[in-house]
């Protein structure tokens, strides 16, 4: 690990003309139910039901002292139930659990005692498992003041960590002029020999509840990965419909990346119908290349619909882009861009004038290796319609596509135009 000394440099002197584009909502300090097992007071706590809900957010601990809880809570709280002063019965505990689920609490911790709550009713366990609602059993001798204090401290520590991560990534990725080394030192970010940027992106324009659950699942994995190793570090920050990851690790970087892919596939299996993707930049060593890494991963995501991902694959690495990496460089040369534009100008003008899709048709035809069947299926049109379009394209271009070099030139022109 590269050692970096903390500087006394004021933060405002590190960044000039900073342009921050993050879309931020109300910040709610929270952890996840799965994080509770890292606490000292939870050493002897048992998870009795609702294992699939361990990614639920815990916003605050709350001790139940009234028969009902809805009017006192917002949702997201972790409820401690001792039974003291409550009308304890199987029926009551069933109703209380249902109320907590309806209020969207994070979970319930029962403190069992023969004179109060002797055991958790089987019906309560069944409901909790059905609703993926975590139920914990805590020893009676655990002092609630210690347990709640630990949870609050963890929530505050996680909030501080997220704020440092957010400010670091915002500044490093989006500020025009900033000293990356100073940012690492100021925010005490651990940097190993290798790093990359990864993005989990939901294919939607609005941030949905399902996307929030997906990001929550990934963040839960990331937190445990971060706590469980001294050879890698993963920082995450949500931005609109993206979860941005800064991944840094030692020589075993591929292992870390594979673990993230495994976690993503597990999350994807939980939400199979939700369109969500994972993309990686190339591996970098110099931290000054962090903006270039971010551009690489954005390029990966911009081409996720260009047949680079064979269904149902939803993971892409920058190294997989192949010719698109070259096209990105070619587009910087205006003479090449103008030349390619002239090759397909007649199709572009025809599409604009007649609201047609000749350019899209030609691109799909080349991508599908000149297969009429595959191209028609890709465009959701009949083969006869495709044949008519291709005949029109050939007529406009004055080519019958018999020359392979001519085809390649046209294909590159189309790809460059769409880049």
In this predicted structure, the answer to whether residue 10 has a pLDDT above a threshold of 70 is: no
- pLDDT of the residue at 310: 56
| Angle value at C-alpha 241, between 238 and 246, nearest 5 degrees | 40
- pLDDT of the residue at 270: 84
Helix (H) or strand (E) holding 287: none
Q: Residue 75 has what DSSP assignment? A: S
- pLDDT of the residue at 3: 30
- pLDDT of the residue at 47: 97
Which has more pLDDT, 307 or 217?
217
Report the DSSP pairing between strands 177-178 and 135-138.
unpaired
pLDDT tier, 323 (very low <50, low <70, confident <90, very high otherwise): confident
Tokens of 115: 């004179």
% of the chain exceeding 90 in pLDDT: 48
Q: Residue 389 has what DSSP assignment? A: H
* CA 70/CA 365 separation, integer angstroms: 59
Model pLDDT for residues 82-116, shown as the tens digit of each residue? 999 999 999 999 999 999 999 999 999 999 999 99
CA Rg, the chain, in Å?
27
> What mean pLDDT is predicted for residues 202-226?
75
- pLDDT of the residue at 236: 86
pTM: 0.63
Which has more pLDDT, 178 or 13?
178
Residue 33's alpha-carbon distances to 24, 123, 249, in angstroms, are: 24, 22, 27
Tokens of 318: 């920058």
Model pLDDT for residues 134-157, shown as the tens digit of each residue? 999 999 999 999 999 999 999 999
Report the DSSP pairing between strands 46-49 and 135-138.
antiparallel
- pLDDT of the residue at 21: 30
pLDDT averaged over the chain?
A: 84
pLDDT tier, 240 (very low <50, low <70, confident <90, very high otherwise): confident
Residues in the chain: 419
In this predicted structure, the answer to whether residue 227 has a pLDDT above a threshold of 80 is: no
- pLDDT of the residue at 228: 52
| Angle value at C-alpha 278, between 274 and 284, nearest 5 degrees | 170
Model pLDDT for residues 31-61, shown as the tens digit of each residue? 889 999 999 999 999 999 999 999 899 999 9
Q: Are 33 and 56 in contact (CB under 8 A)?
A: yes
- pLDDT of the residue at 6: 27
* CA 288/CA 69 separation, integer angstroms: 52
pLDDT tier, 230 (very low <50, low <70, confident <90, very high otherwise): low
How many Å separate Cα 145 from the centre of its chain?
35
Model pLDDT for residues 253-307, shown as the tens digit of each residue? 888 888 899 989 988 888 888 888 999 999 999 998 999 999 899 888 876 655 5
- pLDDT of the residue at 377: 92
């Amino acid at each position: 690990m590269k050692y970096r000394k903390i500087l006394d440099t004021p933060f405002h002197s590190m960044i000039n003309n900073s342009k921050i584009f993050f879309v931020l909502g109300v910040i709610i300090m929270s952890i996840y139910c799965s994080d509770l097992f890292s606490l000292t007071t939870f050493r002897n706590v048992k998870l009795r039901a609702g294992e699939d809900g361990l990614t639920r957010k815990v916003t605050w601990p709350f001790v139940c002292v009234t028969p009902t809880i809805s009017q006192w809570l917002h949702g997201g709280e972790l409820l401690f139930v001792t039974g003291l002063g409550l009308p304890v019965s199987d029926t009551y505990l069933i109703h209380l659990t249902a109320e907590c689920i309806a209020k969207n609490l994070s979970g319930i911790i029962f403190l069992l005692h023969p004179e109060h709550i002797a055991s958790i009713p089987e019906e309560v366990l069944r409901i909790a498992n059905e609703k993926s609602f975590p139920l914990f059993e805590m020893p009676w001798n655990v002092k609630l003041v210690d347990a709640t204090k630990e949870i609050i401290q963890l929530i505050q520590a996680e909030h501080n960590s997220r704020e440092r991560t957010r400010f670091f990534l915002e500044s490093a990725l989006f500020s025009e002029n900033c000293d990356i080394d100073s940012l690492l030192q100021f925010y005490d970010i651990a940097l190993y020999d290798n790093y990359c940027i990864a993005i989990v992106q939901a294919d939607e324009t609005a941030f949905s509840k399902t996307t929030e659950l997906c990001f929550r699942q990934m963040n839960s994995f990331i937190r445990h990965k971060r706590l469980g190793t001294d050879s890698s570090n993963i920082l995450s920050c949500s931005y609109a419909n993206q979860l941005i990851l800064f991944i840094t690790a030692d020589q075993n970087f591929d292992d870390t990346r594979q673990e993230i892919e495994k976690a993503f596939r597990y999350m994807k299996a939980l939400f199979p119908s939700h369109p969500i993707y994972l993309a990686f930049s190339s591996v970098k060593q110099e931290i000054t290349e962090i903006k270039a890494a971010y551009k690489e991963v954005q390029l990966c995501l911009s081409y996720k619909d260009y047949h680079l991902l064979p269904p149902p694959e939803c993971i892409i690495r920058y190294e997989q882009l192949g010719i698109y990496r070259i096209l990105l460089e070619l587009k910087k040369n205006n003479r090449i861009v103008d030349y390619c534009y002239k090759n397909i100008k007649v199709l572009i003008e025809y599409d604009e004038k007649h609201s047609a899709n000749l350019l899209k048709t030609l691109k799909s035809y080349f991508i599908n290796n000149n297969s009429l069947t595959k191209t028609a299926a890709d465009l959701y049109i009949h083969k006869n319609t495709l044949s008519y379009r291709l005949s029109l394209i050939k007529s406009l271009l004055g080519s019958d596509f018999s020359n392979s070099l001519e085809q390649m030139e046209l294909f590159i022109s189309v790809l460059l135009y769409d880049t």
